[in-house]
Chain A
Amino acid sequence: MSLLLETRKLLKQFGAFRAVDQVDFRVQEGEVLALIGSNGAGKTTLVNLISGLLRADGGEIIFRGQDVTAQSVHERIAAGIARSFQLVNLFDQLSALDNVALAIFSRQGKTRKLFSLAEADRPVWQEAMDILHLFRMEAKARILAGGLSQGERKLLDVAIAYALKPKLLFLDEPTSGVGTREKAPIMDTISSVVRSERISAAIIEHDMDVVFSYADRIVAMHQGTILADGTPDEIRRDQRVLTTLIGTPEARA
């Protein structure tokens, strides 16, 4: 495995509060890792910094050997960094199919075309339909995104990010806000897509069952720093993680 992404002493401050405090974070090519930690640990801020939603106050972000710290969101997407959102972010008045197609048009640089009909571009619609199929949503293709169920919205959010053909995909709580029974199917779908395409994925997740069953590696954050980093087995046995994040086995039960 080779190194895909590396942050060096990445820093983000809100006033005196250090949301991300000199974090060295790495993602290898093709791995699925989970970012865990309590609320306010800095997971989402870290993802926001790497994806470009927030500007870093210090440190560097190196993606595939290139310093992307000063790059705009659109440059980072072109480089291969995509993300989904914790609070679903969709184009509610466009159909599910349109949502995915838009990402494809954008990826291909076609959204700069004013004088061609989007409808006429069959390969794009075919690809959009194929992607919905991968995410088991082809039956919902024509439904407006605003009218989908929460679980479907979550999947569509990931499908849009996937349609950008990223090398690194950040998923911010892909199963939050959906029923317990819906969680496993959603994670199965995402996991099978990501693994079959060998996309590196970093998943922020609170549900420990999800984390331990789907991740190759777990990075635990606490108060803006990385507390522990290892395989699920190592993390399961890590005393600091147990006491600060998960709680004692008795407390969990």
Chain B
Amino acid sequence: MSTVTTIALEHRSPLRTLGWAGPALVILLALPWVTEPYQTILLAYGLVMGIAALGFNLLLGYTGLLSFGHSAYFGVGAYSVAFMVKYLGVTSMELFLAGSVVACMIVTAVFGFACVRYTRIFFGILTMALSQVLWSLAFKFFWVTGGTDGLRVPTPTLLGFITGKGDKIAFLATAYYYYVLGVFVLCVAVMWVIVNSPFGRALQAIRDNEVRAEFVGIQIRQYRWVAFLVSGVFTGLAGALWVPLNGLTTPDIMHWTFSGEIVFMTVLGGFRSFTGPIVGAIVFNYLKTYAIGYTVYWQGLLGLVLVILVLSLPTGIVGMVERLWARWRAK
């Protein structure tokens, strides 16, 4: 019996993910030394979006819920930082992260409570509607939020002693890049544990078969709510990391079109795999940056890319790579 179990365990895929993680981390660590600051900062944006998409995919890929309102949580994370700067005079990045996590937990707890009563399109519409409410608040209450001018966020203090005084670009491309990378690695590790925990299994069970999940004793709504909470907090954390990079937060990160971008990234990378959303977010970040530089009709170009990708790579980039890898190994 025990030998049979061992074989079963070895064939389980999650551990394979770790084999990819090592080399990838080395590349990410070495990058600031071999590329220009611009490229490093661009990648920092990609990593931040990777955290957002990772959080989003806990709902889409693992729980089977398509949220069209994740811009709200990204925005809550970003605006919490801006408010802490404006009203409390905080400059510590650690306090920014802690504050945005708390703010996101409160917002997702309330929004999630309403949303997890529904599934499929109803869930999607409700998440979108709620995010649009936050967007309109950020848009209209300009005396608090700065309206479309947004709120400025100066470079923060990292770990209590690293400041960006002087060369902002150098700060973002080295110290802040490594800070983002550190949080990114932590987020990936925590999310990896969550999706491979018994709780993560329960979410996948809910995704596959709601009725049966209930009949193995899983309280579906509660589990969905917790997944919603975790998902929103991850995306909010990404929002908090994003603000110092951008130097400014504006209402458009709350707009539903940004939720659409998060969906785009995840589908592009492949929502059926753990690494898909991360790869998708990084690739999307490059695509968008170069598309904007190339043409003023960049949305059209991205739309075209999405159509082609969905039609030709339904399992996303990671799904395609996995298939090619399997075929190559079979030879």
Most chain A beta-carbon contacts within 10 A, residue among B4, B11, B200, B216: B216
Could you mark each residue 105-119 of chain A with 1 if its beta carbon is under 8 Å from any beta carbon of chain B, else 0? 111001111111111
**Residues B216 and A160 in contact, CB atoms below 8 Å apart:** yes
Is A71 an interface residue when CB atoms closer than 8 A count as contact? no
Could you say which residues of chain A place their CB within 8 Å of the CB of B14?
A: 119
**Residues B209 and A114 in contact, CB atoms below 8 Å apart:** no
Q: Could you tell me the dominant secondary structure of chain B's interface residues? A: helix
**Residues B215 and A73 in contact, CB atoms below 8 Å apart:** yes
Could you say which residues of chain A place their CB within 8 Å of the CB of B8?
A: 97, 125, 129, 141-142
Nearest to B199 among chain A residues (CB) is A114
**Residues A91 and B198 in contact, CB atoms below 8 Å apart:** no
**Residues A101 and B201 in contact, CB atoms below 8 Å apart:** yes
Instruction: Using A73-B215, A83-B215, A111-B218 as known contacts, say yes or no to A90 and B201 having CB atoms under 8 A apart.
Output: no
Is B212 an interface residue when CB atoms closer than 8 A count as contact? yes
User: Nearest Cβ in chain A — how far from B215, in angstroms?
Assistant: 6
Could you say which residues of chain A place their CB within 8 Å of the CB of B215?
A: 51, 53, 73, 77, 82-83, 85, 89, 161
In the bound assembly, the distance between CA atoms of A72 and B215 in angstroms comes to 10
**Residues A94 and B208 in contact, CB atoms below 8 Å apart:** yes
Q: Flag the segment in B177-185, B189-197, B289-297 that touches A.
A: B189-197
Contact of B216 among A51, A106, A119 (CB under 8 A): A106
Size band of the interface chain B makes with A? 35 or more
**Residues B201 and A105 in contact, CB atoms below 8 Å apart:** yes
B283-305 at interface with A (beta carbon < 8 Å): none
**Residues B212 and A90 in contact, CB atoms below 8 Å apart:** yes
**Residues A130 and B1 in contact, CB atoms below 8 Å apart:** yes
User: Nearest Cβ in chain A — how far from B186, in angstroms?
Assistant: 13
Given contacts A53-B215, A90-B212, A113-B199, 15 further A-B contacts (CB under 8 A): A77-B216, A89-B209, A89-B215, A93-B208, A94-B204, A102-B205, A107-B216, A112-B198, A114-B200, A116-B197, A118-B196, A119-B196, A126-B2, A138-B4, A161-B215
Task: Report which A residues bind B (CB closer than 8 A).
Answer: 51, 53, 72-74, 77-78, 82-83, 85, 89-94, 97-98, 101-103, 105-107, 110-119, 121-122, 125-126, 129-130, 133, 138, 141-142, 160-161, 163-164
